[in-house]
């Protein structure tokens, strides 16, 4: 997640802010809402512009949204916002659920991955959940240049893909909305389920299962 080009502000990880303000909500909030008690507290790490935050707030959850991009957080409404790096977060409270979305766990940097999961562990309440959005190995196996989707007039397509090290991929996505075009490049590490479980265990968490049929959402609990 290391570069981006196109109109408007670009975050440190290469995300084009304007593009994400146009992207409609997906199923993430529904998946999260099925796990968290009604009216419960949620810490969302890497909230971006609030694409997941806003449906959670509308559903009655108490959300604290964290992002390292002030430009992203400026679009968040109805939640408490915290501007900072998720891996360094140290709030004096715990939550019914901590959400690590945007496939952040697939970053190749093992130290940063551990720090992110440790931040999740120190903020989740006893009996609470850590909800991790990840790219399971079979998802990586389906990646290919030219593959993509269209969502409410927004086209998302992979334009570059290279395996730069065993199990580590460099990819570039092209986003198109009308006349506007953005690109975003990133690195992604292919993790097996066993590796995911081991990473969670190192951070004091235990893999409890998967929340979706495609396994892109995993639930972990304090070990």
Phi and psi (nearest 5°) for 52?
-95, -35
- The count of domains in the chain is 2
CATH code of 151's domain: 2.30.30
Contact 45, 102 (CB under 8 A): no
Q: What residues are paired with 155 via a beta bridge? A: 150, 176
- Same domain flag for 118 and 170: no
The tokens describing 62, both together, are 């108490």
Q: Answer yes or no: do 126 and 30 share one domain.
A: yes
State the burial class of residue 202 (Cβ atoms within 10 Å of its Cβ: 0-12, 13-18, 19+): middle
The three-state secondary structure class of 49 is: coil
Q: How far apart are CA 126 and CA 223, in angstroms?
A: 10
CATH number at residue 119: 3.40.50.150
Backbone angles phi, psi at 48, to 5 degrees: 60, -140
- In order of 45, 106, 178, the CA distances from 150 in angstroms are 26, 24, 12
pLDDT at 152: 81
Residue 66: name the closest of 49, 52, 86 by CA: 86
Domain carrying residue 90: 13-135+190-222
**SS3 state at 120:** helix
Residues 146, 97, single domain; the answer is no
Taking a C-beta distance cutoff of 8 angstroms, is the pair 128, 95 a contact? Answer: yes
Residue identified by tokens 């409890």 is 208
pLDDT in tens, the chain (223 residues): 333 444 568 887 788 999 999 998 889 999 999 999 999 999 999 999 999 999 999 999 999 999 999 999 999 999 999 999 999 999 999 999 999 999 999 999 999 999 999 999 999 999 999 999 999 999 999 999 999 999 888 999 999 999 999 999 999 999 999 999 999 999 999 999 999 999 999 999 999 999 999 999 999 999 9
Task: In whole angstroms, give the CA distance from residue 4 to residue 168.
Answer: 19
- 22 lies in a domain? yes
- The angle, 0 to 180 degrees and rounded to 10, between the axes of the packed helices 110-123 and 193-202 is 60
Check whether residue 60 and residue 166 sit in a common domain: no
Q: Are 65 and 76 in contact (CB under 8 A)?
A: yes
3-state helix, strand, coil in the chain (%, to 5): 25, 40, 35
């Amino acid at each position: 997640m290391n570069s981006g080009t196109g109109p408007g502000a670009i975050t440190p990880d290469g995300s084009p802010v304007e593009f994400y303000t146009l992207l409609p909500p997906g199923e993430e909030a529904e998946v999260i809402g099925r796990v968290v008690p009604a009216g419960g507290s949620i810490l969302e790490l890497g909230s971006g512009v609030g694409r997941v935050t806003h449906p959670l707030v509308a559903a009655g959850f108490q959300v604290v949204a964290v992002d390292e991009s002030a430009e992203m957080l400026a679009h968040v409404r109805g939640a408490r916002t915290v501007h900072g790096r998720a891996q360094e977060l140290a709030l004096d409270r715990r939550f019914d659920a901590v959400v690590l979305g945007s496939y952040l766990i697939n970053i190749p940097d093992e130290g940063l991955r551990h720090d992110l999961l440790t931040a999740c562990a120190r903020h989740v309440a006893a009996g609470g959940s850590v909800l991790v959005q990840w790219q399971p190995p079979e998802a990586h196996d389906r990646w290919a240049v030219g593959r993509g989707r269209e969502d409410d007039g927004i086209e998302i397509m992979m334009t570059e893909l290279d395996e730069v090290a065993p199990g580590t991929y460099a990819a570039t996505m092209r986003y198109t909305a009308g006349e506007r075009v953005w690109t975003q490049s990133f690195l992604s590490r292919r993790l097996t389920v066993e590796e995911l479980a081991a990473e969670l265990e190192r951070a004091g968490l235990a893999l409890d299962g998967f929340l979706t049929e495609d396994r892109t959402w995993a639930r972990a609990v304090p070990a």
